[in-house]
Each structure stands twice: as structure tokens, then as C-alpha cells.
Amino acid sequence: ANDCQDPPDYWTIHGLWPDKGEECNRTWHFNVTEIKDLMSDMRHYWPDVLHSSLNRTQFWKHEWEKHGTCAATLQVLNSQKKYFGKALELYQHIDLNSCLLKAGIKPSSSYYQMTAIKEALTRFYGVTPKIQCLPPEEGEKAQTIGQIEFCFTKELQLRNCTALKGESDAVQADLKLGTEELSVCSDTLPTYYPSQVQ
């Protein structure tokens, strides 16, 4: 619904999401003062590109209330400072931007094979991430890479992101609908990695 505000030309953080969020404390509201010493890193690596500059904390508030309050059942994530700080730390540790560059995968007007992207990431990290794409728009043949999800154990060690049984069927349905939603990328479609998603 909104235009991207100042889109960065590097991979940023979407969130840190526990898989099974049964024990979320919805009454634990976001308080930006708790992360004030993280603000410059937050603005850089976890920017809100959908809301205007007046309220650039809206994205973080959403991520805390939906995911952070669930993640807080782990001692290492049991405060807003720890939750956002640990997500920033994991982002730096993964260093996706330089990994892709080292593998020769960079924004381009020509297409990539999804299998080549997956292989490069798996080779570099030793685990398989979940790569999500926007399906081709009408009349186009290529999907657009949109999100790369890394999975961790509760001890915050990297692990494989394996698709759940039956998940691939839902993904194909998504692609047929041509929705604007991200879904797991197809291994067979050419893949567009733009410098900015329009």
C-alpha cells in the first residue's frame, strides 16, 4: 500500500521469530527507550521502509509485540534490549551481504538460477536457509528474490530450515494466484535479484 521510503541497497533485518509462539505476553508493550543505545544500528540494519520518517519505530513495535514477547521465554532474549540486540548480533554474524558478494551473487539485470543461489548459501553457511520470492507478475517469467530466512536452534546455533510436509503444495498454489505475497522460491523459475524492489 505504501511506497518504499529510502530503500537501502543491502540486506536488512525483517525479524527474529520463534517458530512456536504459544507463550506470548501481549500486554508487554514496546518501549523505545529500552533500546535507545541500539538506535543507530537499528536504523541502519533494521529500517522501517514502509512508514514515513515521523514514526520509524512502528515496525520494531510490531516485531516486538508479535514475536519478541514470544521469544522472551528464552533467557537470552527476555527483554527488549536483549531481543533487538541479539537480532542485530546474529545479523552481523551471518553477514549475508558479503557472503552473496563473495559468491558472485549481486543485484543484476540478468537472471540467476535459484539452485545456484541455494548452493552458494549452503556451501558458505553449512545449512540450508529458506529463500522466499515474489512470484512472476503477469506476462513475466522470472520470480524476484525477496527474503532469505535463516533458522536457529534455541541455543541460537544455525540449523537447516526444512520445509514442513505439505508446505510445497501451498507454495505452488501461491504462485498460481500471482499474489504479491512472498512464498518459497521455485527452483525452476529464473530468479531476478534487483538492486531495489519496485
Active site residues: 14, 63, 67
Spatial separation of the C-alpha atoms in residues 151 and 149, rounded to whole Å: 7
Helices (H), 66-150: 69-71, 80-94, 96-102, 114-125
150-170 residues labelled b (16+ CB within 10 A) or e (exposed): bbbeeeeebeebeeeeeeeee
Select from 75, 78, 70, 68 the least CA-distant residue to 13. 68
